[in-house]
Structure 1
């Protein structure tokens, strides 16, 4: 790209309010200068971009509104401004380290491209219901200061031949136009094994289209996340398309403590019987523990108390366990 075209592209991106594209072109200029042997100028350009990014981040006092999808995409994609970042999510150290690596690669994506590399952006979340997959996707978007776009599978998947694949193309075209975090929740509905006995030709075509779209280059480096409770249902070919597969496990004792303490705020909770509470919470998901804790707080508020007792928590945790038992197949079939 010539200097004149680069200047024009920078002016257009500035007029569109797309600062990231503006910075990306500036870093391309820096890379070109470095190749010409003008390394001092290249370093100055990189330093100026870093300074501009830091100033924009520190000077941002109000949330920047994200544009919601329009037209045909309005029924396919739900835009959710992220409410929190990774610090707000309870997860094990290994999982957090891998998500931090995704964040770092995304923040330094222009530098990676200068060296002919692309950042990791295709991630598969697997784990039981309520283990924090959707919350982590939202937190990742918050960490990257990007909108979270949730794909509406009920609108995406239709019974008409070719229509689902066409809608899927619209979604992937959008990932290339607007940078964001795109979440395919209940991903097994799209990525089911092509050899399954109950498979139909149309869904095989949809999966083939998805595999093809995943391979296409993406200039915006939008993050695509698939989340599933049933990884055993996924087609093996998908593993090669994702950069990372992250497993979400039931919370440990220490994580249970953190979840409960976080959700008890601002109530007081002196002298809790942690041994009994941890035993009662075993086997429950993060979501179930958080909701049980919130219910215990509500009980204390309605009783006009300023503290939550162990009995409050144990009762609510037991309620959640009974709810889970009610949904077991053996219980449903009685």
Structure 2
């Protein structure tokens, strides 16, 4: 009887704390209910309740962080915050990239152990490589593996008061541990004046941040960075265009169950040579849509042959589009 009365009191307190908007008290009572349930042998219920409270705390924290950016109206188009669910096992990575990224996660997870010996985990990364090779996706995966928010800052916006906005991001970083991705840095490295002030501020942030954040700067043109700049980063990770088995892996990951078991991969890989991960994904999606609409997703040899032709055609089209686009920019 006393246990029932106690449980009823807990529920009333829980509801009252929610009505009062007292999140801290709400979490405490919920965890107390879980602890009592565990002592009574209701272990599964107790664990499910703990998991729910943990997830609710994470979402509440996420909303508070998102509100911080939204309340600073000038940052809404400049920075976004998210909790990616991407993991390394859903990506196609070269052996070198896989080893480098996993090492970052290991050091971050064991940062306390390193600090005992006055050592600092990898915190400042430069992602270098052509557009579409997975730099942004890798940043999302790092955030997902570390269960941290990803604060993505766009530097390809009109310069305006970029330096002021960067200072606002730095202020946020003092309060919010996360993965900070500074994308399209090439947009400001080529200019002078205020752009130079902005890049100097960014590099100073990279060098001085000791607040457990992971800082990632992404560039398509690493050659624009001199040695003095590169040495500010703990590690430079180069992302290359996929080739051979990587091409097949990217396409298979994109298509999943639609991947033909007997596709002729040799002409597909040849047609895909020189395309980025993003281009391969677009071509593969277009090909499978054509196959579906034309009824060529069966098991006959003819279907496999036509499906291969669809994919090769889409890959060649994508290559022509990319070449035309590049020529237009020169």
TM-score computed with the length of structure 1 as normaliser = 0.73
Q: Is the contact between residue 151 and residue 184 of structure 1 (CA under 8 Å) also seen in structure 2?
A: yes
Q: 1:105-116 to 2 correspondence within 5 Å?
A: 105-116=107-118
Offset of residue 91 of structure 1 = 1.1
**Unaligned 5+ residue runs, structure 2?**
1-22, 27-46, 299-303
Counterpart of 1:211 in structure 2 is 203
Q: Is the contact between residue 83 and residue 147 of structure 2 (CA under 8 Å) also seen in structure 1?
A: no
Question: Aligned with 2:323: secondary structure?
Answer: helix
Offset of residue 253 of structure 1 = 0.3
Distance 1:314 1:181, change over 3 A: same
Measure, in 1, the Cα distance between the counterparts of 2:127 and 2:96: 14
Measure, in 1, the Cα distance between the counterparts of 2:223 and 2:233: 16
Counterpart of 1:70 in structure 2 is 70
Counterpart of 1:136 in structure 2 is 138
**Unaligned 5+ residue runs, structure 1?**
1-13, 18-54, 194-198
Counterpart of 1:87 in structure 2 is 89
Measure, in 2, the Cα distance between the counterparts of 1:261 and 1:164: 40
Counterpart of 1:21 in structure 2 is none
Distance 1:123 1:153, change over 3 A: same
* Aligned-residue CA RMSD (Å): 2.8
How many correspondences in the alignment?
271
Counterpart of 1:178 in structure 2 is 176
Question: Aligned with 2:260: secondary structure?
Answer: coil
Offset of residue 110 of structure 1 = 1.9
Counterpart of 2:126 in structure 1 is 124
Distance 1:154 1:95, change over 3 A: closer
Counterpart of 2:257 in structure 1 is 266
- Bigger radius of gyration: 2
TM-score computed with the length of structure 2 as normaliser = 0.74
Measure, in 1, the Cα distance between the counterparts of 2:236 and 2:147: 22
Counterpart of 2:165 in structure 1 is 167
Counterpart of 2:35 in structure 1 is none
Question: Aligned with 2:290: secondary structure?
Answer: helix
Distance 1:268 1:92, change over 3 A: closer
Counterpart of 2:31 in structure 1 is none
Distance 1:208 1:16, change over 3 A: farther
